[in-house]
């Protein structure tokens, strides 16, 4: 529902339409660089958006954690746009990043859920997400809607830059409109993840691996595991694991490989084989059709096919469920993760 509402807010007559938020095509046409900034899950959306935007628009994208951006005196080039992603619109570091960008004379696009929040008010343009008022502390719906907002932004920018035809944009919109039903299909199969998750209530460490967009998904899956299950987990760009962390793999350590991007599939499989030979127990997360994964993974989870740019929206669901059900198996209160606040305003 949240995903559908966010799509519906900015799609008119099979095209992405930002006229209501005053983001004009002439302004988009001038953008030569994009900086995307956020904290926590919002930063992981930034990373996914970087892959999508660069691939679709050929505009270079830099991403940063807001608490780093605000203190490092970032060089912001002319004709750039800073995108600040924040569910609450009140996160102190993200708000400070926004103010810094404005001081430096760069336009800001806020991607915000809470209407009238500080970031929404101070941004030059605000793309509202429609995650609704009932937001969990460990971001799930907000993450999904922020992704949608960033896909729509990438599609409009690609069209303005002449890299996406009206017809291809309409096809992408059709794919977007299918996401809610596909998400529901994954949720309908949740018992299988629950059964698997219940075996990991006592796990010490977990690792998530992926390349490209699948690395961004891995980071968010790993964060969910930490936030709600209190299990030490790390996400690695799959090729980086062997440069150190592989020494932490012991017999039966759970390693989750994410493989939604067909051009990177074989490479990530080879990294999974490497950790398996060190004793890891492998969960493979891929799209329907890639049944060869069962030759390598001990437990395989499939998500429906979609445009590869949108794969994050589907692949994150089993990982959120994994974190959720490990937490349930440990008898924890998923809605009240310790030490975590809904909005970090200091």
**Contacting positions for ligand F1P (CB under 6 A):** 39-42, 86-88, 91, 94, 137-139, 340, 342-344
Shortest approach of ligand F1P to residue 103 CB, angstroms? 20
Label residues 220-241 b or e (16+ Cβ within 10 Å = b). Answer: bbbbbbbbbbebebbbbbbeeb
User: At closest approach, how far in Å is the CB of 273 from ligand F1P?
Assistant: 33
196: CB partners within 8 A, 6+ apart: 283, 299, 322, 325
Q: How far is the CB of 69 from ligand F1P (least distance, A)?
A: 13
Which residue bears the tokens 């009238």? 116
Cα dist from 211 to 34, 53, 190, whole Å: 22, 16, 25
CB of 173 to ligand F1P, least distance (A): 26
> Among residues 42 and 150, whose Cβ is nearest to ligand F1P?
42
* Concatenated DSSP letters of 86-102: ESSS--HHHHHHHHHHH
Residue nearest to ligand F1P (CB): 40
State the virtual CA torsion across 234, 56, 37, 244 in degrees, nearest 10.
20
The residue among 336 and 342 lying less far from ligand F1P, judged by its C-beta, is 342
CA–CA distance from 41 to each of 85, 106, 175, 227, 246 (Å)?
9, 24, 24, 11, 25
Q: Are strands 15-16 and 11-12 parallel, antiparallel or unpaired?
A: antiparallel
Residue 296 vs 343, nearer CB to ligand F1P: 343
Distances 223 to 5, 31, 204, 323 between C-alpha atoms, Å: 26, 32, 15, 9
Q: Which of 24, 185, 336, 342 is catalytic?
A: 342
Nearer to ligand F1P, 194 or 343 (CB): 343
Question: Which residues, including other chains, have CB under 8 Å from residue 251's CB and lie 6 or more apart?
Answer: 279
> From the CB of 39, what's the least distance to ligand F1P, in Å?
4
Q: Which is nearer to ligand F1P, 91 or 268 (CB)?
A: 91
DSSP H helices in 31-188: 41-57, 66-69, 92-103, 118-122, 141-160, 166-188
Residues whose CB falls within 8 Å of the CB of residue 83, separated by 6 or more in sequence, listed in order: 34, 35, 36, 37, 46, 49, 108, 109, 110, 111, 150, 153
CB of 272 to ligand F1P, least distance (A): 28
Kindly tell me which of 41 and 57 has the beta carbon lying closer to ligand F1P: 41
Q: For 273, which DSSP code?
A: H
Is residue 342 flagged as an active site residue?
A: yes
**Smallest distance from the beta carbon of 85 to ligand F1P, in angstroms?**
7
- The span from the CA of 234 to the CA of 220, in Å, is 10
Q: How far is CA 173 from CA 19, 55, 186, 311, 326, in A?
A: 17, 17, 20, 14, 35
Select 57 or 146, whichever has its Cβ closest to ligand F1P.
Answer: 146
Q: Which residues are catalytic?
A: 342
């Amino acid at each position: 529902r949240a995903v559908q509402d966010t799509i519906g807010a900015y799609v008119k007559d099979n095209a992405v339409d930002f006229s209501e938020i005053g983001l004009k095509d002439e302004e988009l046409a001038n953008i030569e660089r994009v900086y995307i900034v956020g904290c926590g899950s919002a930063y992981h959306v930034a990373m996914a958006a970087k892959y999508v935007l660069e691939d679709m628009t050929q505009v270079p994208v830099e991403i940063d954690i807001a608490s780093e951006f605000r203190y490092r005196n970032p060089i912001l080039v002319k004709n750039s746009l800073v995108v600040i992603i924040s569910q609450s619109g009140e996160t102190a570091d993200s708000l400070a990043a926004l103010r810094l960008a404005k001081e430096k004379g760069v336009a800001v696009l806020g991607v915000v859920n809470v209407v009238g929040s500080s970031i929404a008010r101070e941004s030059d343009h605000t793309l509202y997400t429609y995650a609704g008022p009932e937001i969990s502390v460990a971001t799930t719906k907000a993450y999904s809607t922020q992704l949608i907002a960033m896909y729509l932004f990438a599609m409009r920018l690609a069209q303005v830059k002449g890299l996406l035809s009206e017809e291809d944009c309409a096809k992408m919109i059709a794919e977007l409109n299918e996401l809610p039903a596909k998400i529901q299909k994954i949720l309908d199969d949740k018992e299988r993840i629950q059964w698997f998750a219940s075996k990991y209530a006592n796990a010490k460490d977990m690792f998530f691996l992926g390349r490209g967009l699948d690395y961004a998904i891995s980071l968010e899956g790993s964060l969910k595991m930490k936030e709600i299950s209190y299990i030490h987990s790390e996400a690695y760009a799959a090729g980086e694991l062997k440069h150190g962390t592989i020494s932490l793999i012991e017999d039966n350590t759970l390693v989750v490989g994410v493989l939604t991007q067909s051009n990177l599939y074989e490479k990530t499989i080879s990294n999974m084989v490497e950790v398996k030979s060190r004793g890891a127990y492998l969960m493979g997360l891929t799209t329907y059709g890639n049944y060869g994964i069962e030759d390598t993974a001990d437990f395989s989870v499939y998500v429906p096919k979609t445009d590869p740019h949108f794969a994050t929206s589907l692949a994150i669901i089993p990982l959120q469920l994994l974190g959720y059900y490990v937490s349930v198996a440990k008898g924890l209160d998923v809605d009240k993760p310790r030490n975590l606040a809904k909005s970090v305003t200091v």
